[in-house]
Amino acid sequence: MNQQAPAKRPNPLLPGTGLVADVSAVVALVLTLTTTSATVVAVAAGVAVIASAGYLWSYRDVPLGGKGFLAVVALAVAVATASIALTRLFLDPAVTGPSDTEGGTPRSTTSRPAAVTGTNTTGQPTTSTDQAGPAERSLLSLTPQEEDYVHLPITINGTTYSQAKVGKPFSNYAMDRVVDEEYTVPPAVSTIFRSRIGVADDAPTGASVTFTITVDGRPVATKVVTRGTIDDIEADISGQTRFGISAENESSEPALAAWIDPVIVSRT
């Protein structure tokens, strides 16, 4: 009498579960080596653990074959990867960062400096933070009311400067011996304009140029620079509406004059 072979236990899992287990385990392993997010690794490893364990459980009565072997490998890799990920997640401060609670009380992740109240030149109250640092903005990025300079490199005392507003004021016998531009002062509690100034090496011998910073049409800082030399100039333009920069040729021949690395330093 022939005995019937026992029926194979049906697989209650969705098709492709073994493949999901293998892929998830490999992904988790790769992420362990490439990412700093232990949480992402733990999630991928968790998927691999669940899928491979479910696969093996559903085929527990069937001798291990190729698929079963892969599932066992996936389970082992996933468990090892999950252990590494969880260790990093809970023990490595470089990954998790400082706790968001101190003594059971949630703490803010950003500090808020105390506000300081004062008045500007118009008498209106202003508010700022005592820890706010100054912000620099290049004058080269701003648009003047009427453009008179060009952004060109200039060589002074053997050094070439690329971040410069260069003008060519003609001789003091000409009507246009002054090159000037005006800008709107950005709103801020305090604002300073500073720049280096110089006259090109190829200017005529004895050439000199007067550089002036104006505020609402009034000169507030002036310096005279000769050929092949560089100097510094700055002025407080806080609370004003507009400021200007001008270069006036004091010589009988044209000369290239430059405002080098001009910046507006504002504290809001």
229 token code pair: 């030399």
Q: What is the mean pLDDT of the chain?
A: 71
Q: Highest mean pLDDT range out of 23-27, 115-119, 167-171, 197-201?
A: 197-201
> Looking at the whole model, is its pTM more than 0.85?
no
Specify the DSSP element, H or E, that contains 230: strand 230-236
Residue 74 predicted with pLDDT over 70: no
Q: Highest mean pLDDT range out of 73-77, 107-111, 112-116, 140-144?
A: 140-144
Percent of the chain with pLDDT over 70: 47
CA distance linking residue 226 with residue 197, whole number of Å? 10
| 246: Cα within 13 Å, side-chain hemisphere | 22
What's residue 240's pLDDT?
85
What's residue 244's pLDDT?
94
Residue 69 predicted with pLDDT over 70: no
What's residue 188's pLDDT?
79
- 252 near 171, Cβ under 8 Å? yes
Write down the number of H helices and E strands in the chain. 4, 16
How large is the average pLDDT for residues 196-220?
93
| pLDDT tens per residue across span 215-260 | 988 999 999 999 999 999 999 998 888 999 999 988 878 888 999 9
Q: Which of 5-9, 57-61, 217-221 has the lowest mean pLDDT?
A: 5-9
Residue 79 predicted with pLDDT over 80: no
Residue 171 predicted with pLDDT over 70: no
CA distance linking residue 192 with residue 167, whole number of Å? 22
* Residue 75 Ramachandran class (φ > 0 left, ψ -120 to 50 alpha, else beta): alpha
What's residue 26's pLDDT?
64
Per-residue pLDDT band for 107 (boundaries 50, 70, 90) equals very low
